[in-house]
A and B are shown apart, each in its own frame.
Chain A
Amino acid sequence: MNAAFATVRRYAGIYAALIRYSLIHEMQFKANFLLWILVEGLWFGLQIAFMTVLYGHTDSIAGWSRWEVVLLVGCNQFIQQLFHMLFVTNLSNLSELIRKGTLDLLFLQPVNTRFLISVKKFEIGNIANALMGLAVVGYALVKLDRVPSVAQWLGFVVVCVAGLAIHYSLMFLLACIAFWTVRAQGIVWGYYNLFNIARLPADAFPRGAYRAVFTWVLPMLLVSNVPAKLLADRLGSPWELMPLIGMAVVCFVASELFWRMSLRHYTSASS
Chain B
Amino acid sequence: MGKYLHVFGLGIQNTLVYRINFLFRAAFGLVPLAGTLFLWKSIYAGKEPGAVLGGYTLAQMISYYLLVTLVDAVTAVAEDDWQIAADIKDGQVSQFLLKPMDYLTYRLCLYGSGRAVYTTMALIPVSVFIVFQRENFVLPSDAATLSVALASIVMAGILQFFIAYMVALLAFWVLDVSTFIFIQFAFEYIASGHLFPLDILPVALQKVVLLTPYPYLLYFPVGVYLGQIRGVALWQGIGMQAGWILVAYLGARWMWSRGLRTYTAVGG
A interface residues, Cβ below 8 angstroms from B: 29, 32, 35-36, 38-39, 42-43, 46, 49-50, 53-54, 56-58, 60-62, 186-187, 189-190, 193-194, 196-197, 200, 203-206, 210
- Out of A32, A58, A197, name the residue touching B32 (CB < 8 Å): A197
Chain A residue numbers with a CB within 8 Å of B38 are 200, 204-206, 210
A61 to chain B, nearest CB (A): 6
The reply to whether the CB of B139 lies closer than 8 angstroms to some CB of chain A is no
Residue with the greatest number of chain A CB neighbours at <10 A, chosen from B38, B176, B196, B201: B38
| Contact surface of B with A, Cβ cutoff 8 Å | 21, 24-25, 28-29, 31-32, 34-36, 38-39, 41-43, 46-47, 53-54, 175-176, 179, 182-183, 186, 189-190, 195-196, 200-202
Residue of A with least CB distance to B23: A186
On whether the beta carbons of B190 and A49 are closer than 8 Å, the reply is: yes
Are the C-beta atoms of A58 and B43 separated by less than 8 Å?
Answer: yes
A197 x B190 contact (CB < 8 A): no
B179 touching A50, Cβ below 8 Å: no
Contacts of B31 in A (CB 8 A): 193-194, 196-197
Closest 10 pairs (CB-CB, A-B): A190-B28, A197-B35, A196-B32, A35-B179, A204-B42, A42-B186, A186-B21, A193-B28, A39-B182, A62-B42
CA distance A67 to B189 in the complex (A): 24
The answer to whether A46 and B190 have CB atoms under 8 Å apart is: yes
- CA A200 to CA B35, docked complex, whole Å: 8
Residue pair A36, B179 in contact (C-beta under 8 Å):
yes
Given contacts A46-B195, A204-B39, 16 further A-B contacts (CB under 8 A): A35-B179, A38-B183, A46-B186, A53-B196, A53-B201, A54-B39, A56-B200, A57-B53, A61-B46, A187-B24, A190-B28, A193-B28, A196-B35, A197-B35, A204-B38, A210-B34
Contacts of A35 in B (CB 8 A): 179, 183
Chain A: minimal CB distance from B14 (Å): 15
Closest CB in chain A relative to B16 CB, distance in Å: 15
**A109 CB to nearest chain B CB (Å):** 30
Min CB distance, A68 to chain B, in Å? 14
- 19 A-B pairs whose Cβ atoms sit less than 8 Å apart in the complex: A35-B183, A36-B179, A38-B183, A39-B186, A43-B186, A46-B186, A46-B189, A46-B190, A61-B42, A61-B43, A61-B46, A187-B24, A190-B25, A190-B28, A197-B32, A204-B38, A204-B42, A205-B38, A206-B41
Say whether chain B's binding surface is mostly helix, strand, loop, or mixed: helix
Q: Is the CB of A54 within 8 A of B196?
A: yes
- What residues of B have a CB within 8 angstroms of the CB of A193 in the complex? 28-29, 31-32
Q: Which residue of B lies closest to A191 (CB)?
A: B28
Residues on B with beta carbons closer than 8 Å to the beta carbon of A205: 35, 38
Return chain A residues, CB-CB under 8 Å to B200.
53, 56-57
Instruction: Evaluate contact between A42 and B183: CB separation under 8 angstroms.
Output: yes
Complex CA–CA separation, A189 to B22 (angstroms): 12
Shortest Cβ gap from A16 to chain B (Å) = 28
Q: Chain B residues with Cβ under 8 A from A57's Cβ?
A: 43, 53-54, 200
> B182 to chain A: which residues have CB within 8 Å?
39
- In chain A, what residue has the closest Cβ to B42? A204
Nearest CB in chain A: distance from B171 CB, A: 14
Question: From residue B112, how far is it (CB to closest CB) to chain A in Å?
Answer: 22
CB pair A189–B53 under 8 Å, yes or no, is no
**CA–CA, A210 to B32, complex, Å?**
11
Indicate the member of B54, B175, B186 with the most A CB atoms within 10 Å: B186
Of all chain B residues, the one with the shortest Cβ separation from A55 is B43
Which of B25, B29, B42, B47 neighbours the largest number of chain A CB atoms within 10 Å of its CB?
B42
Closest to A211 in B: B38
Closest to A39 in B: B182
With A32-B179, A56-B202 in contact, do A61 and B39 touch (Cβ < 8 Å)? yes
CA distance A49 to B194 in the complex (A): 13
Q: Shortest CB–CB separation between residue B25 and chain A, in angstroms?
A: 6
Distance between Cα atoms of A22 and B213 in the complex (Å): 39
Expressed in whole angstroms, the minimum distance between the Cβ of B24 and any Cβ of chain A is 6
- The answer for the CA separation of A107 and B194 in the assembled complex, in Å, is 45
Enumerate chain A residues within 8 angstroms of B41, measured Cβ to Cβ.
204, 206
CA distance A188 to B166 in the complex (A): 28
Q: Which residue of A lies closest to B187 (CB)?
A: A42
Q: In the complex, which residues of chain A have a beta carbon less than 8 angstroms from the beta carbon of B32?
A: 193, 196-197
Complex-state Cα separation, A51 to B29, whole angstroms: 20
Please give the distance in Å from B220's CB to the nearest CB on chain A: 19
Residues of A within 8 A of B183 (CB): 35, 38-39, 42
Nearest A residue (CB) for B28: A190
A57 to B201, CA, bound (A): 10
Q: Knowing A186-B25, A197-B35, A210-B38, say if A58 contacts B46 (CB, 8 Å).
A: yes
Q: Within the assembled complex, what's the spacing in Å between the Cα atoms of A190 and B41?
A: 25
Bound complex: CA A178 to CA B192 (Å): 35
A60→B44 CA distance, assembly (Å): 11
Nearest A-chain residue to B43, judged by Cβ: A58
Q: How far is the CA of A157 from the CA of B43 in the complex (A)?
A: 31
Contact A60 B35 (CB under 8 A): no
